[in-house]
Amino acid sequence: MSELAKETHRSVADKEVRSVKNKRTKSLWWMYLPALIVVSIFIIYPFLNGIRVSFTDWNGFSQTKNWVGFQQYSRMFSDPDTWLVVKNTLIYGIGSTIFQNILGLLYALLLNQSIKMKALTRTIIYLPVIISPLVMGYIWYFFFSFQGGALNDLLVFFGMDKINALGNPDLNTWLIVFVNTYQFVGIAMIIYLAGLQGISKDFYEAADIDGASAFQQFKNITLPLLMPAITINMVLNIIGGLKLFDVIIALTGGGPGNASQSMSTFMYDLYFSRQDAGYAATQGVLMAFIILILSLLALVYFKRKEVDA
Amino acid sequence: MKNREKRSRILLTGLALFITLLHLVPFYILITTALKATGDFSSKWAFPTKMEFANFSQAWEQAQLGTAFVNTTLITAGAAMLLIFFGAMAAYPLARMQTKLNKVVYFIFIAIMIIPPLTALVPLYKMVVDIGLMNTRTVAVLNNLAAFLPLTIFLYAGFIRSTIPKELEEAAKIDGASTLVTFFRVVFPLLKPVTATVLIISCVFIWNDYQFSIFFLQDKSVQTLTVALAGFFGQNQNNLNLVASAALMSMAPMTILFLFLQKYFVAGLSSGSVKG
């Protein structure tokens, strides 16, 4: 068939299709109806209802709840625990993001070289990603625990004093960041590796001819062209870090006191242990707000830095 | 020049080996802890002098891991199957029919991805109690389904838009096939690569879920592996060897699958996260 004939054929076919389609063109909403119903019942409705509950003094179990206006909100903003917990949540979110990205990028740069046993290294670094964060928390509990923990065995071996790492309020939030980083650095690494492999070798060859140093090449070629990967990792890690729950439960249970509590674990505590559901819902609204703002900020900020290759 | 390259290659290989060993440390500690007898106070770094394999059977019994394995498997499989079915079906019109209504619905699905599941938990718990689904595997399936539908729809819609040629569906329609037949006979089989991705992502996360399970599955008969493990940890603070054995067993299936199918796991989990 000649090109022209093909063209005509296609446009005739197109017209036919369009007429068939016009008869049937609907939004086909029944196809997404099941999904929409499930999501409405289990996410949208409870989320909106949560906003309503945040204006009540509901204890979570009784049938009565009293409308208290902004009382829970004023309570939240004057509660010193709120600020401690928000601070911890930001440490988990921002701390994990920084460490996972720096380490993930360094690992990716290393594994992008021609070295032996690349596949093995990659597998081992990635392995923790598939393990439950709760189990990961227990694994590191065996490492950090005061009695018979691997860290203290090591300290004793070198003649130093044992430390209660998980019970130390200044230290344990950072240990949780460390465990979260260890677990999910593999995802950051893989995304950076994919990004690195997408950069054409021509850029580096040209830079070599111009006599650019390795550092200059990294700064002027690698980093700008990796920006899309950086955006994805930043947003993913910040959301993951701000939502942290399982690891904290396993490692410190949020303690001592509220010292390592995140917004998620604090909410859980308020609802189940302290029967303060209205207040828990108020904290939930704040948490949704913080996650929304920070992930959007990260998205917009890093998107703007992306360049076209 | 050649020599220098060779030397730097050896150096970098050594560095990679060192990093690999560092990353293996927690696993080494886990395994040696799991193998040591209660009351063995040797350093966690020391290899067990006498391996206590009985830890495994004892932990299996006491933590009721058998029930937990069955529950976790049923919940994971159930949710994953429904996710693929409803997710692919929902994505199709959202990717293809750009009506105003569909654009709004698609936006709703995407926006939901930002809501942390926990923020909806307080009223969700009340609702689950009210409709009598507390302590049922059904509620775990439905919760996980709802939680992963937005990402699933996002992945399927992106794939349909970018890789499935419209001509195929149009041809089927001209032949008189209904939308449903066209979708399941023509489109769905072509979605295999995303289906694999969805399957891997959802299985890993649902298998590992703790947040939903601890809220809604408090009864021993329906508890999942993570809940069983958390309970077991609470009871055995002085007998961590058993906890380590239980932890090792609970992560074994996914780990073995991962080691055999790692290519798919890595591609699945990272493509999901790249697009998510």
Q: What are phi and psi of B261, to 5 degrees?
A: -115, 35
Instruction: Give me the mean pLDDT over the B33-47 stretch.
Output: 86
> Domains plus CATH for chain B?
1-52 (no CATH), 64-274 (1.10.3720.10)
SS3 A148: coil
Cβ-based contacts of A214 with chain B (< 8 Å): none
Residue A269 pLDDT more than 60? yes
Instruction: Give me the mean pLDDT over the A150-172 stretch.
Output: 91
Tens-digit pLDDT profile for residues B242-269: 999 999 999 999 999 999 998 888 888 8
ipTM of the complex: 0.91
Which 99-128 residues of chain A touch chain B by CB within 8 A? 107, 110-111, 113-118, 120-128
A135 has a chain B CB within 8 A of its CB? yes
Cβ pair B142:A194 closer than 8 A: no
- Tell me what pLDDT residue A62 has: 80
Tens-digit pLDDT profile for residues A219-244: 989 999 999 899 889 988 998 899 89
Residue A296 pLDDT more than 90? no
Instruction: Give me the mean pLDDT over the B27-50 stretch.
Output: 88
Query: What is the pLDDT confidence band of residue B1, given thresholds at 50, 70 and 90?
Result: low
Question: Looking at residue A94, what DSSP letter applies?
Answer: I
SS3 A56: strand
Residue of B nearest to A53 (CA): B123
Cβ-based contacts of B121 with chain A (< 8 Å): 46, 50, 267-268, 271, 284
Query: What is the pLDDT confidence band of residue A13, given thresholds at 50, 70 and 90?
Result: low
What's the mean pLDDT when you consider all of chain A?
A: 88
User: Whole-angstrom Cα distance, residue A20 to residue B175?
Assistant: 11
Tens-digit pLDDT profile for residues A65-108: 889 889 999 999 999 999 999 999 999 999 999 999 999 999 99
Residue with tokens 């995802």: A187
Of residues B173, B207, B270, nearest to A187 (C-beta): B270
Query: What is the pLDDT confidence band of residue B44, given thresholds at 50, 70 and 90?
Result: confident
Tokens at residue A62, please?
Answer: 């009784």
- Cα B128 to Cα A247, A265, B117, B227: the distances in Å are 26, 20, 15, 18
Cβ-based contacts of A115 with chain B (< 8 Å): 9, 12-13, 16
Size of interface A-B (CB pairs under 8 A): 291
- Tell me what pLDDT residue A23 has: 43
Tokens at residue A125, please?
Answer: 């670094």
Cβ pair B30:A139 closer than 8 A: yes
Cβ pair B120:A157 closer than 8 A: no
* Residue A228 C-alpha, separation from nearest chain B C-alpha, in angstroms: 10
The least confident of A18-27, B5-14, B29-38, B42-51 is A18-27
* Residue A146 C-alpha, separation from nearest chain B C-alpha, in angstroms: 12
| Other beta carbons within 10 Å of B150 | 24
- Tell me what pLDDT residue B175 has: 85
A65 has a chain B CB within 8 A of its CB? no
Cβ pair B170:A236 closer than 8 A: no
Question: Looking at residue B36, what DSSP letter applies?
Answer: S
- Tell me what pLDDT residue A295 has: 84
Burial of B63 (0-12, 13-18, 19+ CB in 10 A): buried
Mutation for testing the B interface, residue in A30, A115, A236, A273 having most B CBs under 10 Å: A115
**B206 in Cβ contact with B80 (< 8 Å):** yes
Cβ-based contacts of A44 with chain B (< 8 Å): 108, 112
Question: Looking at residue B52, what DSSP letter applies?
Answer: -
Residue of A nearest to B19 (CA): A121
Residue of A nearest to B262 (CA): A123
Q: Is pLDDT larger for residue B11 or for residue B115?
A: B11
Residue A8 pLDDT more than 60? no
Of residues B207, B251, B274, nearest to A232 (C-beta): B274
Tens-digit pLDDT profile for residues B127-161: 898 899 999 999 999 999 999 999 999 999 999 99
Cβ pair A250:B233 closer than 8 A: yes
Cβ pair A24:B273 closer than 8 A: no
Tokens at residue B7, please?
Answer: 């030397």
Tens-digit pLDDT profile for residues A168-177: 998 999 999 9
Tokens at residue A286, please?
Answer: 């704040």
- Cα B65 to Cα A40, A124, B69, B73: the distances in Å are 34, 26, 6, 12
Residue of B nearest to A181 (CA): B23
Residue A21 pLDDT more than 60? no
| Cα torsion B184, B189, B194, B200: sign | positive
Cβ-based contacts of B27 with chain A (< 8 Å): 127, 139
Instruction: Give me the mean pLDDT over the A245-253 stretch.
Output: 94
Residue A16 pLDDT more than 80? no
Cβ pair B230:A26 closer than 8 A: no
**A285 in Cβ contact with A51 (< 8 Å):** yes
| Other beta carbons within 10 Å of B201 | 24
- Tell me what pLDDT residue A7 has: 54
Q: Is pLDDT larger for residue A21 or for residue B130?
A: B130
Name the percent of chain B lying above pLDDT 90.
Answer: 60
Amino acid of residue B54: A
User: Whole-angstrom Cα distance, residue B111 to residue A177?
Assistant: 27
Instruction: Give me the mean pLDDT over the A237-263 stretch.
Output: 92
What's the mean pLDDT when you consider all of chain B?
A: 90
**Cα B198–Cα B126–Cα A278 angle in degrees, nearest 5:** 110
Instruction: Give me the mean pLDDT over the B188-213 stretch.
Output: 92
Closest CA to B8 of A249, A290, A113: A113
Of residues B25, B86, B174, nearest to A16 (C-beta): B174
Cβ pair B244:A120 closer than 8 A: no
- Tell me what pLDDT residue B272 has: 63
Tens-digit pLDDT profile for residues B66-119: 999 999 999 999 999 999 999 999 999 999 888 899 999 999 998 888 777 777
Closest CA to B110 of B163, B144, B157, B142: B157
